[in-house]
Amino acid sequence: MRKKALFTLAMFAAFGTQALHAQCSICTKTASQLGDGPASALNSAILYMAFAPFAIMGYIGWRWWKNEKRFNNPPDNEGLH
């Protein structure tokens, strides 16, 4: 059930959003001078470059969580005595 809810949330986040505007005020002013096509490409490039650090930090956090979970809950080795 938890995986299904997470999958549904991920699909909503990926496809249920409107066009994202990831531009600071300086980039917005520059993009408005370029026109619609280049402004859209600039916005996509900003979102693309912002994704990499979040993906890297998410992976590091996930690995850290998995290692802490394994370290704090060692397997039960009673049958090996």
List all residues 6 or more positions away from 47 whose beta carbon is below 8 Å from its beta carbon: 20, 22
- Burial tier of 28 (Cβ tally within 10 Å: 0-12, 13-18, 19+): middle
Between CA 75 and CA 32 the distance in angstroms is: 59
4-42 tens-digit pLDDT: 777 777 776 666 555 556 567 777 777 778 888 888 888
**What average pLDDT does this structure show over 42-70?**
88
Give the model's confidence band at 61: pLDDT under 50 very low, under 70 low, under 90 confident, else very high: very high
Name the residue with higher pLDDT: 47 or 61. Answer: 61
Between CA 45 and CA 40 the distance in angstroms is: 9
